[in-house]
Chains A and B, each alone.
Chain A
Amino acid sequence: MRGAVAILKKELRSYFYSPVAYVILGVFLFIMGVIFAKFVDIYQRFNSAQRFSGSQGITLDKLATYLYQNMAFILCFVTPFLTMKLYAEEKRQQTFELLFTAPLKKFELVLGKFFAAYSLMLFMVAVSFIYVFFMILWGNPELPIIGSTYLGLLLALACYVSLGGLISAMTSNQAIAAVWTFIVLLLLWLLQSLGQGITAQTGFIEWGPLLVYLSPLGHFNSFSEGLIHVKDLIYFISFTFITLYFTYCVVESNRWR
């Protein structure tokens, strides 16, 4: 594990030495801030509307669910920027020759890189705890639901990051890695709607549930509604492990070419 820690430290260092980490963090927080402001605005209007008509339109918890679903989607855009360089840059700079001629096991390399990007993403998400703080201050959110939402984010991010790493390992061009990671993540999200769109008339009806299952969207949504299902846990964890394993295979296969 010593090798993995060395890789992790080096990767984090590279992130913070280049402007990438700061820019991404700033952009992410800005977008989330805008969404949160909107969220507060809607909440306030419904609150005052409720006072006059007594309607049960919207609750803080429902709004929080939307907020975090938005966040999970926005993180799809953020991930490629953090994962694109993981392997592509090593290949371009020919530094794999250093890593592979040192007594470092390949899985240590894969784990070190995964946790470097993952911890940075988690840090970004951790900053959003400030929204929870505001919610507690001015409302009465259902804290267990927020807890399960964060668990869902944690798991979804592991998938995003491992997928980004896998795609980065397949190319030596960062830009290509970023674009493909983004496309694949977006497709995965859209699989949900695609699967639900399949009806008896369109045919392939048996494919519908499979596509829905493959999309992270539904799995994340149940977390954000406060439901922790074993099938969702299995989905995220197996997704992450399988992509990490594929990454390992791709890295290993680079030697044979």
Chain B
Amino acid sequence: MIEVRNLTKKYGDRTAINNLTFSVGKGEILGFLGQNGAGKTTTMKILTGFMPATSGTAAIGGFDVFENPLEVKKKIGYLPENPPIYPELLVFEYLSFVADLRGISKSEKSSKIDRVIERCNLGDVRRRLIGNLSKGYRQRVGLAQALIHDPEVLILDEPTVGLDPKQVNEARGLIKSLRSEKTVIYSTHILSEVSATCDRIIVIDKGNIVAQEAINPMGAAGGLVKTEIVVRKISEGLKSKLSSVEGVKEVHISSNGTQRLIVETEAREEVMAEVSRVVVESDSGLIRMSPVQQALEEYYLSLITGKRGVSI
């Protein structure tokens, strides 16, 4: 659906994005991850035809962004970082303006407006002045604007910034509900968001793609999982017994308290079952066994700092 080849954008001497190549399949949700200033917004602005690239090509739905901008723009819904709203208009007037801009016919207009108002939960503020709305509502009005013409491709630039936790959840739910129906590119610097919504991530740093893969945090660490085991008292030989279990790679006793063990094992259920049996039978008084949430955050940091993150 989206094909990007060797895309480069320079602002004067500064290279904002450098030789990006990636593609996004139909119905896929792609997370675009990177620090502030990494080039996420620039890439999106080029894809939407807002801004031309210095070199390289980008195509959406088979149409080149530079040669066929109008065709491309018909297929795209775009929510910029700051929702492009007019504070002096009422919500439904604004949506009606966008519908006109998008060339939606008179007969379809009111049903389409009603649909996005419902979808983005804007029913309560339909007749309110946009300028008086809270940040969360403005963001939703922005999203409604991007969805009104039922585009095949949605490009969302940090759609959850400034929302409260409940709204973040709703926004994520909305984006997830678009899965398989629309192709979504979604930029963020919040990691939990990516794992919660996306099928695949592209990590971009200083204008370069540093990683491009499917969401599988376990895979990132090489098929190993870490489990934290808390016991009342670590009995003699527990460490060596655990180490001898097949599939266990490493056992260490946590440094900040003798009652904690970190076991690194292969990600297989049999291994976990065996580990728990050994702990219980060793009479150490098992209190808790829990997987260590690691992966994405650590992985991401390791990518942009250029070295593997330290474990725990």
- Cβ–Cβ contact B78 & A103, under 8 A: no
Stretch at the interface among B80-88, B226-234, B272-280: B80-88
- Cβ–Cβ contact A13 & B102, under 8 A: no
- Cβ–Cβ contact A100 & B49, under 8 A: yes
- Cβ–Cβ contact B80 & A9, under 8 A: no
- Cβ–Cβ contact A98 & B84, under 8 A: yes
- Cβ–Cβ contact B88 & A101, under 8 A: no
* Number of residues from B at the complex interface, CB < 8 A: 27
B101 adjacent to chain A (CB < 8 Å): yes
A105 to B103, CA, bound (A): 12
Closest chain A residue to B48, Cβ basis: A101
A96 to B84, CA, bound (A): 8
* Number of residues from A at the complex interface, CB < 8 A: 26
Q: Mark A92-123, 1 if CB is under 8 A from B, else 0.
A: 01111111111111000000000000000000
| Chain B interface mostly | loop
Most chain-A Cβ atoms within 10 A of its Cβ — which of B87, B88, B89, B145? B88
30 of the cross-chain contacts (CB-CB < 8 Å) are A2-B100, A3-B100, A3-B103, A5-B100, A6-B97, A9-B100, A10-B89, A10-B97, A17-B88, A17-B89, A93-B85, A93-B86, A94-B82, A94-B84, A95-B84, A97-B45, A97-B50, A97-B84, A98-B80, A98-B98, A99-B101, A100-B49, A101-B48, A101-B73, A101-B76, A103-B70, A103-B101, A103-B102, A104-B101, A255-B52
Interface residues of A (CB under 8 A from B): 2-3, 5-7, 9-10, 13-14, 17-18, 93-105, 255-256
**A-B contacts at CB below 8 angstroms, number:** 73
B152 adjacent to chain A (CB < 8 Å): no
Contact of B102 among A7, A102, A105, A256 (CB under 8 A): A102
Contact of A95 among B76, B86, B100 (CB under 8 A): B86
Given contact pairs A14-B89, A93-B86, A100-B50, a sample of 12 additional A-B residue pairs in the complex whose CB atoms are under 8 Å apart: A5-B100, A14-B88, A94-B80, A96-B50, A98-B98, A98-B101, A99-B101, A101-B76, A102-B98, A103-B70, A103-B73, A103-B74
